[in-house]
Structure 1
Amino acid sequence: MTSPTALEAVPEDAEAKAHHVKGGKGFINPWDSWRDFTPAGIMKAMIWRRLTGSLKFPDTTPPTVTVIEPTFLPSRTASDSLRATWLGHACYYVEFPSGLRVLFDPVFEDRCSPFSFMGPKRYTQPPCHIKDLPIVDLVVISHSHYDHLSHPTVLELHKAHPNATFLVGLGLKKWFHDSGIENVEELDWWQDVDITLSPSTGVKRISDASSTGPSAKGSDITARISCLPCQHISARSAFDKAHTLWASWAVTSGGKSVWFGGDTGYRAVPELPKEVDDYGDEYAHLPHCPAFKQIGDLRGPFDLGLIPIGAYDPRYIMSPMHANPFDSVNIFVDTKCKRAMGIHWGTWVLTTEDVLEPPQLLKKAMAKKGLPETGVFDVCDIGESKEF
């Protein structure tokens, strides 16, 4: 694996590192599209909605999202296409035609919480267990929130796949080291690493990594992993907000590329009546995050985008950090993904929209953009695999 550095095109202002807090004390979203809500502010807003009767709780009574048992390829060289399996929420298992196997944002616990007895509880079960994953070469973590980074899951993954390397944003390496995991590389936005994987020995460092094309059967596997921006925040307690970096990621191997959005917002929207379209002409002036077009222009196109579509209501509170489907479609267009699958929904109740609303709005958002409602940016059952 090469040391993290910029191996491809970067924005002209990348060296300024505007997302770094001066003095090395964390990170910020350096765009006008961001608005910060403190935890106290969010709690105050939610309490007010509860008192005024405008706070509703989604119905999770089954049936909701269908969960099926996944099937995985029996070997590294069993397919010539990119194969992606949704394991719930933001977790995807991606099988590259090169033989590379990548797991994104795995959380297999019942609750996404620092506690096993309280916090958001699954209303759809995991489609499989960690022991069912045949090969894990890389584990990509978008940020430190509990619905994306789970301590028990990480420990179990490391035990089951000791050669797997974890890719994380700046500041998170220490958390992994404190957990007894040394196979971890942390990156800043617009940094890349190249890897060569020998199927018999695992990931190894190389000094001249340039090829990300198809590997011959039985030969080493090459890949490029890129840490890229998104608009979000990080925290695992009340005292470490924005101490570690949040990111989107790109992985290219075997002639196929995936952009993983992780968790992101697109634009900050003011409080509006429910029936008002915040994409109407009156609100066209609201700034949107420019990073996604930069990603598309400088690093795209991508064969597959894994793009968040859920956890967006109340809109005026969640919009800076969570995309709704109309935002998601704009992110899809900006990043120049050829196809996409919706993530960040269907698993835990984190916000107040109906649990099946995200895919319904996704179709409307695609139509509004003049794009096909199906076959381009889709959703699937939990446990289902799609080929690209």
Structure 2
Amino acid sequence: MSTHSTTITKTPGVLPVPDDAADKSHHVRGSNGEVVKFRNPHPSYHGVDPWMAVRKILIPQFTGKIKLPDTTPPTVPVSPPNFLASRKSSSKLRATWLGHACYYVEFPSGLRVLFDPVFEDRCSPFSFMGPKRFTQPPCKVDEIPLVDAVVISHSHYDHLSHTSVVTLAKKHPRAHFFVGMGLAKWFKSTGVKNVTEMDWWEDVEFKLTPEDKDPGDAAADEIKATVSALPCQHTSARGLFDRDCTLWCSWAINSGGKKVWFGGDTGYRAVPEVPEGEDDWSEKYLSLPKTPQFKQIGDCRGPFHLGLIPIGAYSPRIFMSPMHANPYDAVEIFADTKCEKALGIHWGTWTLTYEEVMEPPQMLKEALRKKGLPDTGTFDVCDIGESREFE
């Protein structure tokens, strides 16, 4: 197998951006003008009051009004993944779900991209406490045969794992990590040098050039991709004192004529307290502000052959909706971003919130039907370890 060297070239002004991109309204600057934090700039987001967490989560859980979801098997089926044998094994776009927000995407160009790899038992700063997996990873992180690029949406522990990053960097020393602004420092502190941090609406050309081209090796062609950091609506932190100090992003990868949009982790609109049993997407609530960012992504960078869109970790809505999409939100995001097909992420791995484990895929079908879309074959979910192919 040939080895490839990588070249990263920034390409400002090549791809379209929305009119307000230059405002950098998501930047929070200090007295010296430097960016010190980041924020969600639209009224579709509001901050979460810690007292709300006490009233809406801790007290109801203590009194038994809300309960943790039942994770008793069977839940989501898990099977070993079947990765392609070589870079030129398929002319189709291929995506394999490895749990939660982690997808491994094999482009027909030969490019291999891993999104938000977290293979640990707990998504926590501690190995002995914090959310524990109720479905196991379908493979070990070092069993993934080829990794050219690793894309990180943000710094939360269910999307960024120190152990997984170090293992990947050791197994794939040429792999390049793409991260939001402010996060490169963390990677360099772990010993990872191949890292590029980006702001919203920034693009780079990522080129892999064979170093030891063998005329008989069909995988030794030069591989090109455009990597774009794009907006989403979320937050970041790894400790008590670094909230919103690094940027959260969605991402687009364009290689070999195939375009993938990775939503990472995002909300769509902040929903107020709604009476039990009432639909917050009914006529009564349609005037709630929605983030314009996803329509901007669709207009400026779409359409996409495949979207990887979060559908889970949304209950209670009053607390989670500013930063986590439910399936109804996800279908709106799917339409806004102009994805031709989509697969659901951000569910089926850890109990981060209070909806039942299998509710997200069931609700997704309802949301698709309500939108007038087919409930299969357009925006689907996979088993963990399963691969789907797209023309």
TM-score bracket, shorter-length normalisation? over 0.9
Q: 1:170 to 1:357 in 2, by over 3 A?
A: same
1:230 equivalent in structure 2: 232
The aligned amino acid for 2:28 is V
- Return the offset for 1:238: 1.2
Counterparts of 1:168-207 in structure 2, within 5 Å, are 168-200=179-211
Distance 1:322 1:201 in 2: 45
Q: Which runs of 5+ in 1 are unaligned?
A: 203-215
The aligned amino acid for 1:196 is K
- Deviations along 1:298-321, one digit per CA (max 9) or x if unpaired, are 100000000000000001100000
- Return the offset for 1:53: 3.1
Distance 1:142 1:43 in 2: 28
1:160 equivalent in structure 2: 171
The aligned amino acid for 2:43 is D
2:15 equivalent in structure 1: 8
- Return the offset for 1:273: 2.1
Assess if the C-alpha contact under 8 Å between 2:56 and 2:316 holds in 1.
Answer: no
Q: 1:38 to 1:162 in 2, by over 3 A?
A: farther
Q: TM-score, normalised by structure 2?
A: 0.94
SS in 2 for 1:153: helix
Assess if the C-alpha contact under 8 Å between 2:86 and 2:219 holds in 1.
Answer: no
Distance 2:49 2:247 in 1: 18
Distance 1:176 1:217 in 2: 29
- Return the offset for 1:240: 0.5
Distance 2:133 2:107 in 1: 29
Assess if the C-alpha contact under 8 Å between 1:263 and 1:321 holds in 2.
Answer: yes
Assess if the C-alpha contact under 8 Å between 1:166 and 1:183 holds in 2.
Answer: yes
- Return the offset for 1:54: 2.1
- Deviations along 1:241-277, one digit per CA (max 9) or x if unpaired, are 0000000000000110100000000000011123000
- Return the offset for 1:381: 0.4
Q: 1:3 to 1:271 in 2, by over 3 A?
A: same
1:151 equivalent in structure 2: 162
SS in 2 for 1:373: coil
The aligned amino acid for 1:16 is D
- Deviations along 1:182-211, one digit per CA (max 9) or x if unpaired, are 100000000000011024479xxxxxxxxx
- Return the offset for 1:44: 4.4
1:262 equivalent in structure 2: 264
- Return the offset for 1:152: 0.5
Aligned residue among 326, 330, 333 for 2:332: 330
Aligned residue pairs, count: 375
Distance 1:279 1:310 in 2: 17
- Return the offset for 1:7: 2.9
Assess if the C-alpha contact under 8 Å between 1:4 and 1:187 holds in 2.
Answer: no
- Deviations along 1:99-119, one digit per CA (max 9) or x if unpaired, are 000000000000000000000
1:211 equivalent in structure 2: none
- Deviations along 1:40-99, one digit per CA (max 9) or x if unpaired, are 542443122224432211000000000011010111011101000000000000000000
Distance 1:122 1:53 in 2: 23
Q: TM-score, normalised by structure 1?
A: 0.94
Aligned residue among 344, 347, 371 for 2:346: 344
Q: 1:90 to 1:308 in 2, by over 3 A?
A: same
- Deviations along 1:340-361, one digit per CA (max 9) or x if unpaired, are 0000000000000000000000
- Deviations along 1:138-181, one digit per CA (max 9) or x if unpaired, are 00000000000000000000000000000000000000011111
Q: Which runs of 5+ in 2 are unaligned?
A: 1-7
Assess if the C-alpha contact under 8 Å between 2:236 and 2:244 holds in 1.
Answer: yes
Matched, 1:67 2:67: no
Distance 1:257 1:163 in 2: 23
SS in 2 for 1:21: strand
* Percentage of identical aligned residues: 64
Counterparts of 1:1-388 in structure 2, within 5 Å, are 1-3=8-10, 5-23=12-30, 24-39=35-50, 41-200=52-211, 218-388=220-390
